[in-house]
């Protein structure tokens, strides 16, 4: 009989003994160096930390020497197993926010025309398993074929707080983008005004014409004779902004048939939400989340040489 592989399976429960006075969050960060600060805060928010048998969610809970801090991970592992078949990764979750990695091909939220599986209803199901009254709210969207970091709120109040102060709250939105052709300029800024027609297609204009101002900054990371890999940062967040601005400079996103591109060998849009950094709307902590550049993007530039 084949034995189960448990080589890298963490203990579902762990106990730590306090050696001196400290605050709980600082103690956990020092004791669990392999875990990130946000991951530890998520354990607290999910009521998975107890001190001498008493569950607490307080970051600054005062500890004294001799106390026992218990960590119960079983709940997290169960939730990850349930979400794994849907291909949705949760980077961070507390009582106010959920930060995810959305895969390419999944809608952010259903539309009047499309009612299929979405990131929104996957997360709704996820949180309702703990509390049937819980809800999630879309703070911003990613196109169906765009992958990467995305934020949801757990209350309408938090959603509105984020959206109303979006420019002040969001510190960085960075995308990895593969476009057709080598760019001449290694960096630049694109500014135009975007409007949407009745067919839901966005158009770009060099003059206002009643449209919304859109500003996109780009930097070339790598390029060859056929493609360029760009780091793109948004100063504004308009619908289809990156796709339209890439078309404006004559280098459409690969796979973007709607805005001047052609079908790509990786069968997806060459657009990935790489980094999202923002100020937490309640704790004011600076949060930074990064989803690696997809390997299929890099394959255009790092093809293995035939021996």
Active site residues: 143
Q: Where are the beta strands (DSSP E) in 31-96?
A: 49-51, 54-55, 62-63, 68-72, 89-93
Exposure string for 233-245, b = 16+ CB within 10 A, e = fewer: bbeeebebbbbbb
Kindly compute the dihedral angle of the four CA atoms of residues 206, 211, 215, 216, in this order, to the nearest 10 degrees. -90
DSSP 169: H
- The three-class DSSP label of residue 167 is helix
Contact (Cβ atoms closer than 8 angstroms) between residue 253 and residue 259: yes
d(CA 293, CA 287): 19
Q: Which residue has the tokens 């979405």?
A: 118
- Among 130, 173, 134, 137, residue whose Cα is nearest residue 158: 137
CA–CA separation, 202 vs 212, rounded Å? 11
**Residue 52 and residue 81 in contact, taking contact as beta carbons nearer than 8 Å:** no
């Amino acid at each position: 009989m084949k034995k189960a592989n448990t080589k890298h399976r963490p203990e579902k429960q762990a106990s730590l003994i306090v050696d001196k006075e400290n605050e709980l969050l600082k103690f956990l960060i020092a004791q669990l160096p392999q875990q990130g600060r946000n991951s530890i805060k998520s354990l607290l928010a999910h009521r998975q930390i107890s001190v001498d048998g008493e569950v607490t969610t307080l970051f600054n809970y005062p500890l004294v020497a001799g106390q026992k801090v218990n960590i119960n991970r079983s709940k997290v592992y169960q939730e990850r197993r349930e979400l794994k078949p849907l291909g949705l990764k949760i980077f961070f979750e507390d009582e106010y926010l959920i930060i995810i990695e959305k895969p390419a091909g999944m809608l952010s939220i259903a539309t009047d025309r499309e009612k299929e599986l979405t990131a929104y209803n996957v997360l709704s199901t996820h949180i309702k398993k703990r509390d049937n009254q819980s809800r999630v709210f879309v703070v911003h969207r990613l196109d169906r074929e765009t992958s990467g970091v995305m934020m949801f709120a757990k209350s309408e109040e938090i959603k509105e707080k984020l959206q109303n102060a979006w420019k002040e709250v969001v510190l960085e939105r960075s995308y990895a983008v593969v476009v057709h052709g080598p760019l001449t300029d290694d960096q630049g800024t694109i500014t135009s005004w975007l409007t949407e027609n009745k067919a839901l297609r966005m158009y770009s204009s060099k003059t206002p014409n009643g449209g919304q101002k859109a500003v996109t900054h780009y930097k070339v990371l790598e390029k060859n004779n056929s493609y360029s890999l760009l780091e793109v940062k948004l100063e504004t967040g308009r619908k289809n902004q990156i796709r339209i601005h890439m078309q404006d400079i004559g280098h459409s996103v690969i796979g973007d048939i709607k805005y001047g591109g052609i079908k790509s060998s990786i069968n997806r849009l060459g657009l990935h939400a790489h980094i999202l950094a923002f100020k937490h709307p309640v704790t004011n902590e600076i949060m930074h989340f990064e989803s690696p550049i997809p390997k299929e993007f890099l394959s255009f530039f790092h093809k293995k040489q035939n021996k």
